[in-house]
């Protein structure tokens, strides 16, 4: 008499099949949404990416049930769906927090202090990369380039930007998220939960009052290249190391966006941003991670100077 591998307690590393089905009411609701998504594409299989966001919005991550649902409505195999769901990092494969806190550790953000931010958040939250706090509020991960190098170091929460961060400002940010206090991104729509974000990414409108209008525009740092191309750039100036040395203090070219470290020590005052700078309550524009003595970044200069 032989026994099966499951009876012997041996796991072959294969998922249990078939995947459990959604409850009838949930499946009916998702099928209605799925038909709306599929109708946008000439080839139904092109709807797979938004459909994965749709099922992620249901449970907070892409489950085997969600992948089976996508396969059923699109006429694909579960292997085809799994191949896509495991390729893109925006699809979570396991339960995660209401707020996905991603710290950019790519080159520029790392040099400007991203590595220090990530290390401090791991210690502060007591989780590793991809880990979720016990209360289910925050999942921490390091992520690749956020295409926001001009505001480095950058942290994203549910894909909304929090620019010019420091270890201290990032810790205040996650503390506010956990405590349920209001958190305003630097730019973009107001923050919502990861499930709500996933539904928006599936292609459904953000129906929160004023959310779309609040998306804003590019910040000053993003527009430097455009100003250069138009010949509107300010006269060149030398940015000296933060540890002293000669400074062009008192020059008429110093503007409201000059960093405090670019001025003489006696002129280093707290910067009061204007509304056009797209700063949030969790930005740290004057006390950057790069000025942390334990993580020196050295001299810096603006693009084109």
* Domain containing residue 74: CATH number: 1.10.10.1590
Please report whether residue 71 resides in a domain. Answer: yes
Give the mean pLDDT of 79-97.
Answer: 91
Residue 213, Ramachandran bin (φ over 0: left; ψ between -120 and 50: alpha; else beta): alpha
Q: Final residue of a domain: which of 161, 191, 221?
A: 191
Q: Is 191 left (phi over 0), alpha (psi -120 to 50) or beta?
A: beta
Nearest to 34 by CA among 68, 63, 64, 61: 68
Residue 222 has what pLDDT? 78
Domain boundary among 154, 170, 191: 191
In a domain, residue 288? The reply is: no
Q: Tell me which residue has tokens 């396991």.
A: 94
Q: What is the total count of domains within the chain?
A: 2
- 154 and 72 both lie in a single domain: no
pLDDT at residue number 281:
53
The residue segments making up the domain with residue 78 are 24-87
The rounded distance, in Å, linking the Cα atoms of 42 and 220 is: 40
Calpha distance 148→150 (Å, rounded): 5
Q: Let me know if residue 245 belongs to a domain.
A: no
Could you report the per-residue pLDDT of 6-58, keeping only the tens digit for each?
Answer: 455 566 666 566 788 899 999 999 999 999 999 999 999 899 999 999 999 99
Has residue 61 been placed in a domain?
yes
Residues 114 and 138 placed together within one structural domain of the fold: yes
Residues 114 and 165 occupy one common structural domain = yes
Task: Examine the domain organization and report whether 115 and 161 are in the same domain.
Answer: yes
Strand partners, 132: 139
pLDDT at 240: 62
Nearest residue to 93 via CA among 64, 58, 70, 69: 64
Residue 145 is predicted with a pLDDT of: 87
Same domain flag for 69 and 103 = no
In a domain, 3, yes or no: no
> Which of 191, 220, 241 is at the close of a domain?
191
Residue 186 and residue 117 share a domain: yes
108/173 same-domain check:
yes
pLDDT above 90: residue 198: yes
218 lies in some domain: no
Nearest partner of 152 among 201, 115, 202, judged by Cα: 115
Determine the longest span between alpha carbons in the chain, in angstroms: 92
Of residues 253 and 86, which shows the higher confidence score? Answer: 86
Looking at the structure, tell me whether residues 145 and 68 fall in a common domain: no
Question: Is the pLDDT score of 261 beyond 50?
Answer: no
Statement to judge: residues 161 and 125 lie in one domain: yes
CATH number at residue 142: 3.40.30.10
The model's pTM: 0.68
pLDDT > 70 in the chain, percent: 69
Distance CA 52, CA 187 (A): 26
Are 111 and 184 in the same domain? yes
Q: Is residue 14 part of a domain?
A: no
In a domain, 28, yes or no: yes
pLDDT at site 219: 72
Residue 74 confidence class, pLDDT cut points 50, 70, 90: very high
Q: What pLDDT, in 10s, does the model give residues 217-245?
A: 677 777 888 888 888 766 656 556 555 54
* pLDDT in the model for residue 237: 62
Do 233 and 225 meet the contact criterion of CB atoms below 8 Å apart? no
Residue 303: its pLDDT value, please?
43
User: What is the model's pLDDT at position 157?
Assistant: 94
């Amino acid at each position: 008499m032989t026994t099966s591998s499951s009876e012997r307690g041996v796991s072959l590393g294969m998922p249990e099949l078939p995947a459990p089905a959604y409850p009838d009411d949930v499946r009916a609701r998702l099928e209605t949404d799925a038909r709306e998504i599929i109708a946008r594409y000439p080839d139904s299989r092109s709807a797979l990416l938004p459909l994965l966001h749709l099922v992620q919005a249901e449970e907070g991550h892409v489950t085997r049930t969600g992948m089976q649902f996508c396969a059923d409505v699109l006429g694909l195999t579960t292997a085809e769906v799994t191949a896509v769901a495991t390729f893109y990092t925006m699809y979570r494969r396991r339960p995660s927090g209401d707020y996905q806190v991603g710290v950019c550790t790519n080159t520029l953000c790392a040099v400007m202090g991203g590595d220090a931010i990530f290390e401090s958040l791991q210690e502060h939250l007591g989780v590793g990369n991809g880990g979720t706090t016990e209360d289910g509020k925050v999942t921490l991960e390091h992520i690749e380039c956020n295409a926001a190098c001009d505001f480095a170091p950058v942290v994203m929460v549910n894909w909304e930007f929090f620019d010019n961060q420091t270890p201290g400002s990032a810790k205040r940010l996650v503390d506010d998220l956990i405590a349920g206090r209001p958190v305003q991104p630097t730019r973009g729509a107001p923050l919502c939960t990861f499930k709500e974000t996933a539904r928006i990414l599936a292609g459904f409108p953000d129906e929160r009052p004023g959310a779309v209008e609040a998306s804003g525009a590019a910040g000053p740092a993003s527009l430097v290249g455009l100003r250069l191309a138009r010949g509107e750039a300010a006269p060149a100036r030398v940015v000296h190391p933060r540890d002293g040395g000669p400074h062009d203090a008192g020059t008429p070219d110093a503007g409201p966006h000059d960093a405090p470290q670019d001025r003489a020590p006696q002129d280093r005052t707290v910067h009061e941003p204007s509304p056009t700078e797209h700063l949030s309550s969790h930005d740290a524009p004057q006390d950057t991670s790069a000025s942390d003595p334990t993580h020196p970044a050295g001299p810096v200069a603006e693009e084109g100077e």
